[in-house]
Structure 1
Amino acid sequence: MSHSMGVLMSRSVSTAAQRPFPSLRAFAARRPVSAFCVAAVGLVLLLQTLLLVAGLDLTPGKLAELVILFGLALLLTAWIGGVPLVRRLLGGLARWRFGLGRWLLVLLAMPALTVAVGLATGTFRTSPDGWGAVTLDYLVILVLIALTASIWEETAWAGFVQSRLMADRGLLIGSLLTAAPFALIHLPLAFESSGLARTSLTDAWISWAFVIGSAPFFRYLAGGLLVDTGGSILAVALLHASFNTSGSLSVVPGGWQYALALVVLTILVAAYRALRGRSLVRGTVPALAEPGSESLSRSGQAGDQRAAA
């Protein structure tokens, strides 16, 4: 009897050894977006919250956010598809041939519409230094933000997260799903200027409403840009930098006009895409998704794969 029980226990242990718990790498391969969002958003929120509670400057937390986002995107991409898929992801940063119209869109549309909103609402202020100084300031800040922040952010958000969600759910739903973690990770910035103790709840709610309200519009605009440029992360990163820079234009003080400009731009781009016969809800980015993933939402989307001239 004891011998039989020993054999059974041995077989039980052997069977359990053959069925180990799924590894982190296996989970990331099955659910890359979930793994990325849980790890990236969780780590960034934890770190930045600790800095705020300690009364420290949030800058180290913002720098760590860029490292975490970009690093996790590369790590998970390497786990999923190895070096070829990493090259495909980074290739989106070098995709710059997307037509003059798209270049004007990503570089000039946001500041132009922000100024237009300022004029329409009576909040425009003439610069004493002239338009040359305003333009130079805009371009310098745009380049700095692009090189130090938005390129690294959008490699993660547009290249890794949004391209996969769009492959599964299409342009509209994939973009809206991306907006949720994208907004969540930016919530601590409400306390960046005055700190945790000196920021009123009203100011925090206003900041959060701005982030949560603008995120769906920006991510949808970014999604359409990804489709129309054949997967240019560079285009989305420049648009992101242009959006941030437009909020600091000296001729439109107040810092809210660019949010309304974003809504207007999204509506205009959606109307243009509709007039050109492109779907407003379907669209994928095969140039960024791993082989086979684009087939999940390929039906009825052939017309959306054409890059705009």
Structure 2
Amino acid sequence: MTARTSAPVPAGPAAGPAAGPVRRWVARRPLTAFTAVVFGAGWPVMSVPALTAHGLLPGGALPVEPFVLATLLLVMLPAAVGVTAVLDGRAGVRALLARTVRWRFGAGWWAAVGLGLPAVTLAAGLVTGRVLVLDDAGAVLAGAVLSAVGALLLVNLWEETVWAGFLQTRLQQRSGPWRAALLTGVAFAGIHVPLQFTDGATAGSALAGVGVLLGAGVLVRALAGAVLTGTGGSVLAVAVLHASSNASNSEDELVDRLLSGGSPLVLALAATAVLTASLVAAQRRR
């Protein structure tokens, strides 16, 4: 495992005097512009399932997944690419997208992002009295790998192009890793707020869900920041980490099916903190 600095943001042509007023504003306030687009256009799309579930729009209960994917591919990703184009031109966009296939970052980092969270979460479960459930373990592992690869290619890679590749990288270079993790975690939790009002949610359950999202988001973004630094800014590495995080903390996913005793979310959050501390300590020693 080798430590590297995160990828520099290309210094491209900023909007000059001949550019329009919107382009000049984006060049002056890129993160404000990105946030305004993501929340201004993303929240209405993400809110449709909640509005139909509560009878405020026709259609009844709708699945949330199509609206999450639409927000990602039609709002968030274009916002990140568009702001990058204003700041850094085509070269900056190419550099951002090239990081989605940056795979040369050492076997140790591959093990950390792909296996670290599931392994540490399972260990935490065993330490706290859970029991391994090995019935059909081979089928469970095969299903988890297929699910993770599908999610990686369809969702996680593009989601992390936005969060890790664009927002967290720029915040990390501007404000340092911990502030970047905090601010990116807040944005990550914020875009998911409308989903907390689906499925008959009450104000109390929605508030609790937002709190969990916020805490988990900041923890995961701290780990993502360590991975960005250690892999030279690889978006692919953080996307693999995101997929392995979902396999560790979600119900009916890999760790949940291998451990007895209910949802592994608390165990996975503890594992995230442990793995983050371990990676940061290893980088500092080097």
TM-score, normalised with respect to structure 2: 0.82
- What's 2:68 paired with? 62
CA shift for structure 1 position 187: 2.1
Structure 2 letter corresponding to 1:51: P
- What's 2:127 paired with? 120
Instruction: For 1:254-273, list aligned pairs within 5 A.
Output: 254-256=263-265, 257-273=267-283
- Structure 2 distance, partners of 1:47, 1:259, is 29
Structure 2 letter corresponding to 1:63: L
Relative to structure 1, is the Cα distance of residues 124 and 85 closer, same or farther in structure 2, using a 3 angstrom cutoff? same
TM-score, normalised with respect to structure 1: 0.76
Which deviations, in whole Å up to 9, do the C-alpha atoms of 1:252-306 show, x marking residues without a partner?
3314122222122112222222332xxxxxxxxxxxxxxxxxxxxxxxxxxxxxx
CA shift for structure 1 position 63: 1.3
Which deviations, in whole Å up to 9, do the C-alpha atoms of 1:75-100 show, x marking residues without a partner?
22122222111101111112110000
Flag the structure with more relative contact order, 1 or 2, with Cα contacts below 8 A and sequence separation at least 6: 2
Structure 1 letter corresponding to 2:263: G
Gaps of at least 5 residues in structure 1 are 1-18, 277-309
- What's 2:242 paired with? 240
Alignment match of 2:194 (pick from 188, 194, 203)? 188
Q: Determine if the alignment matches structure 1 residue 175 to structure 2 residue 181.
A: yes
> Is the CA contact (8 Å cut-off) linking 1:44 and 1:61 kept in structure 2?
no
Structure 1 letter corresponding to 2:33: A
CA shift for structure 1 position 41: 2.2
- What's 1:23 paired with? 21
> Is the CA contact (8 Å cut-off) linking 1:41 and 1:181 kept in structure 2?
no
> Is the CA contact (8 Å cut-off) linking 1:96 and 1:234 kept in structure 2?
yes
Which deviations, in whole Å up to 9, do the C-alpha atoms of 1:105-131 show, x marking residues without a partner?
11000111111122122233413213x
Which deviations, in whole Å up to 9, do the C-alpha atoms of 1:124-148 show, x marking residues without a partner?
3413213x22321221121111111
Which deviations, in whole Å up to 9, do the C-alpha atoms of 1:32-51 show, x marking residues without a partner?
11111121123222222233
- What's 1:304 paired with? none
Supply the RMSD in Å over aligned alpha carbons. Answer: 2.1
Instruction: For 1:215-234, list aligned pairs within 5 A.
Output: 215-234=217-236
- What's 1:93 paired with? 100
- Structure 2 distance, partners of 1:245, 1:138, is 7
- What's 2:149 paired with? 143
- What's 2:36 paired with? 38
The percent of aligned pairs where both chains have the same amino acid is 37
> Is the CA contact (8 Å cut-off) linking 1:69 and 1:156 kept in structure 2?
yes
- What's 1:290 paired with? none
- What's 2:161 paired with? 155
CA shift for structure 1 position 202: 4.0
- Structure 2 distance, partners of 1:114, 1:190, is 25
Relative to structure 1, is the Cα distance of residues 120 and 189 closer, same or farther in structure 2, using a 3 angstrom cutoff? farther
CA shift for structure 1 position 184: 0.7
- Name whichever of 262-271 and 151-160 sits farther off: 262-271
Q: Determine if the alignment matches structure 1 residue 79 to structure 2 residue 86.
A: yes
- Structure 2 distance, partners of 1:268, 1:228, is 12
- Structure 2 distance, partners of 1:20, 1:229, is 38
Q: Determine if the alignment matches structure 1 residue 133 to structure 2 residue 139.
A: yes
> Is the CA contact (8 Å cut-off) linking 1:89 and 1:160 kept in structure 2?
yes
Which deviations, in whole Å up to 9, do the C-alpha atoms of 1:47-71 show, x marking residues without a partner?
2223311224222220112111111
- Name whichever of 48-57 and 177-186 sits farther off: 48-57
- Name whichever of 149-158 and 51-60 sits farther off: 51-60
Larger Rg: 1
Relative to structure 1, is the Cα distance of residues 263 and 189 closer, same or farther in structure 2, using a 3 angstrom cutoff? farther
Gaps of at least 5 residues in structure 2 are 1-16, 54-60
- Structure 1 distance, partners of 2:24, 2:269, is 40
- Name whichever of 205-214 and 156-165 sits farther off: 205-214
Relative to structure 1, is the Cα distance of residues 50 and 21 closer, same or farther in structure 2, using a 3 angstrom cutoff? farther
Relative to structure 1, is the Cα distance of residues 217 and 34 closer, same or farther in structure 2, using a 3 angstrom cutoff? same
- Structure 2 distance, partners of 1:86, 1:254, is 40
- Structure 1 distance, partners of 2:109, 2:170, is 23
- What's 2:284 paired with? 274
Which deviations, in whole Å up to 9, do the C-alpha atoms of 1:130-174 show, x marking residues without a partner?
3x2232122112111111111111111111111111121122222
Which deviations, in whole Å up to 9, do the C-alpha atoms of 1:191-239 show, x marking residues without a partner?
45x2xxx224443333222211111221121112111111101001110
